[in-house]
Amino acid sequence: MAPTTGEIFSSLADPTRRALFERLCREGEKTVAALTARAGVSQPAVSKHLAVLRQAGLVRDRREGRQTHYSAQFAALAPLVDWTSRMAGFWEGRFDRLEDLLKRMDQ
Amino acid sequence: MSDTATQTRSVIVEREIAFPPEKIWRALTRPELLEEWLMKNDFQPAMDHRFQFRGDWGAVDCKILAVEPHKLLSYSWAAYGLESVVTWTLTATAKGTKLRMEQAGFRADQQQAFQGAQGGWRKFFGQLEQLLARQP
């Protein structure tokens, strides 16, 4: 089942998880060990955070030998980034303001 | 890459406004007027001019792509690392002007944009946190 917007929100609300996710977005695929080296928390803690992100569909894991590699899943952000509907609302409001201004402006 | 991932989407708002194109053009191109209805800015209607719209929530980086006085105005619009193009079209009508705004270029898969926008990320997540705080 697809994760809900609420699940995505709450998985990114934690600053450590958000930092892990951002790093995967910026730097591409990483192992748990590589992520732990700069996370400021223990490897089990990093693994736990990654499990939450995976649950929300934000990361994907790939096993290779004894290592697990994690990568960011941008498509999972789509429910949060519905730009078309957000921007449509924005522009409708600005059109209203533009019309108000035109009424106040001199010819 | 799948079709949905590369598909571009756009936002279109169109209205008939009871004023002539010349007057609307002024409101679209004079910084002090733009500020009144859109955002604070350092706009200039000159090709390739780079400018910003600034709101309480951050800035939008823009560059002029096309200027045809009283007819067409187009600029790039980059916010939160997401690139799009805003195009205004003015068409004179019997009652005034048909004003059309199209913002195009959102991709369902914004991977590149996200990767290239570290500053944008922070703002983006700052907003997410605020949204989260308001969730029931």
Residue with tokens 């609302």: A89
Per-residue pLDDT, averaged over B38-49, amounts to: 95
Give pTM, 2 decimals.
0.58
Closest CA to B104 of B131, B128, B74: B74
Closest CA to B71 of B48, B52, B45, B38: B45
Residue B132 near chain A (CB below 8 Å): yes
Instruction: For A7-29, give the DSSP string.
Output: HHHHHHHSHHHHHHHHHHHHH--
Residue A1 near chain B (CB below 8 Å): no
Residue B22 near chain A (CB below 8 Å): no
Q: How many CB atoms lie within 10 A of CB B66?
A: 13
Facing residue for A83 by CB, picked from B26, B38, B82: B82
Q: Is a pLDDT exceeding 90 seen at residue A82? A: no
Say if CB A73 and CB A59 are below 8 A apart: yes
- Structure ipTM over 0.85, yes or no: no
Q: How many CB atoms lie within 10 A of CB B72?
A: 15
Query: Comparing A92 with B41, which gets the higher pLDDT?
Result: B41
Q: Do B131 and A9 touch (CB under 8 A)?
A: yes
What are the structural domains, with CATH classification, of chain A? 5-75 (1.10.10.10)
The β-bridge partners of A85 are: none
List pLDDT tens digits, range A14-50.
Answer: 888 888 988 888 788 999 999 999 888 999 999 999 9
What are the structural domains, with CATH classification, of chain B? 3-134 (3.30.530.20)
Per-residue pLDDT, averaged over B6-12, amounts to: 67
Residue A34 near chain B (CB below 8 Å): no
Q: What pLDDT was estimated at residue B57?
A: 65
Report residue B32: phi and psi, to 5°.
Answer: -70, -30
Query: Comparing B33 with B3, which gets the higher pLDDT?
Result: B33
